[in-house]
Amino acid sequence: MKKILLLLCLYSTFATAQTGGENVYQFLNITTSARQAALGGEIYTLRDDVNQALWNPATINEKMHNNIGINYINYLAGISFGSASYAYKVNDKIGTFHAGVTYVGYGELIGADAQGNETGTFKANDFSVSLGYAYQIPNSHFILGANLKMINSVIDSYSSFGLATDLGILYHNPDKQYSFTLVVKNLGTQITKFDNTKEDLPLEIALSADYQLENVPLKWYVTLDNLQQWQVAYENPSNATTDIEGNRTEEDITFFDNAFRHLIIGAELFPQKAFNIRVGYNVRRGKELSLADSRTFAGISAGFGLKLNRIKFSYAFTKYHPADNASTFSLLINLN
């Protein structure tokens, strides 16, 4: 029962594209990069991290050539979550390609019939393979990128297969202190269904930017996520109030409260050094996982990066649920 509850928790708390976990393949919007997780979970302008192309193919560039990224999340109740990335530059004319895999193993779960009688155990897992490419528009600083993803999900004897693409456009000028990008993730369809109902993919549109301070070793990141869906805030029954006469007043979601729930901010201290510190805040996660009478620190993330010659190690601490924390580990290896 504990693992079933945690499996449901994974789909609801990590469902960054549609609140409430209303879509299939929600794992596609979960970051497995420790650097990205530490900066708030949805930062899309990192051009020096081969993992970034899993979510924004416009960041693919020749500096990623022969780089490997390996990532793992130490999540709740033995759930295994990881990914791997690799980039290869064919030549100056053709450019650089990126390949990646993502895997989620939910472990052994308890099955039950409609009356609640246990029927044994079963397993569930999600898996995706992606291939990406980016193209710089001639005589400009704009880069176009696309990922093609093949997705497979298995729950006991049921399985589903889908196809999706990620599209991105990135502005990056080496002479400027800033860059920005627009990303459309998981544009696709479910080819084979779990049962008789066809489900939508977790489409997400996000706008992300960064800014490097000129005289201070600090880089700021900001993202506006879920631009395809304005209303991302919903009334929480636990936040309702009752007056002395017993009249109940539901939570009032204001225009600005809903607007700010699209915001993710992050900061990186000493971004170009061998050791750097990262912090982030996801406003919607903080709001949705807050408790009325307790401080949970939900929405806050932090981590660090350490570079040793050709190897970069990153760690992130993230508060995804009031009951527990998650740790994300990333290893980048330059094979050149």
Looking at per-residue pLDDT, the higher value among 245 and 6 belongs to 245
Over range 136-149, report the average pLDDT.
Answer: 96
SS3 label, residue 283: helix
Span 146-168, mean pLDDT? 95
Res. 113: pLDDT tops 60? yes
Mean pLDDT of 128-139: 96
Q: What is the mean pLDDT of residues 133-158?
A: 95
pLDDT bucket at 242, cuts 50 / 70 / 90: confident
The predicted model gives 73-102 an average pLDDT of 91
- φ and ψ of 36, to 5 deg: -65, -40
* Cβ pair 145, 121 in contact under 8 A: no
pLDDT for the residue 122: 87
Confidence band for 183, pLDDT divided at 50, 70 and 90: very high
Cβ partners under 8 Å of residue 205, min gap 6 = 182, 183, 184, 185, 226, 227, 228
pLDDT value at residue 95: 94
Has residue 17 got a pLDDT over 50? no
Percent of the chain with pLDDT over 70: 90
The pLDDT of 255-267, averaged and rounded, is 95
* Nearest alpha carbon to residue 228 among 290, 170, 185: 185
Q: What is the mean pLDDT of residues 57-71?
A: 97
Q: Stretch 15-26: mean pLDDT, rounded?
A: 62
pLDDT confidence of residue 264: 97
Give the whole-angstrom CA distance, residue 264 versus residue 29: 14
Residue 3 has pLDDT above 50, yes or no: no
User: Whole-angstrom Cα distance, residue 249 to residue 115?
Assistant: 36
Q: 2-334: which CATH number, 2.40.160, 1.25.40, 3.40.91, 3.30.70?
A: 2.40.160
Asked if the model's pLDDT at residue 24 lies above 70, the reply is yes
CA of 159: how far to CAs of 92, 215, 252, in Å?
41, 54, 41
| Cβ-based neighbour number of residue 248 at 10 Å | 9
Q: What is the pLDDT of residue 6?
A: 41
Average pLDDT over residues 295-316: 91
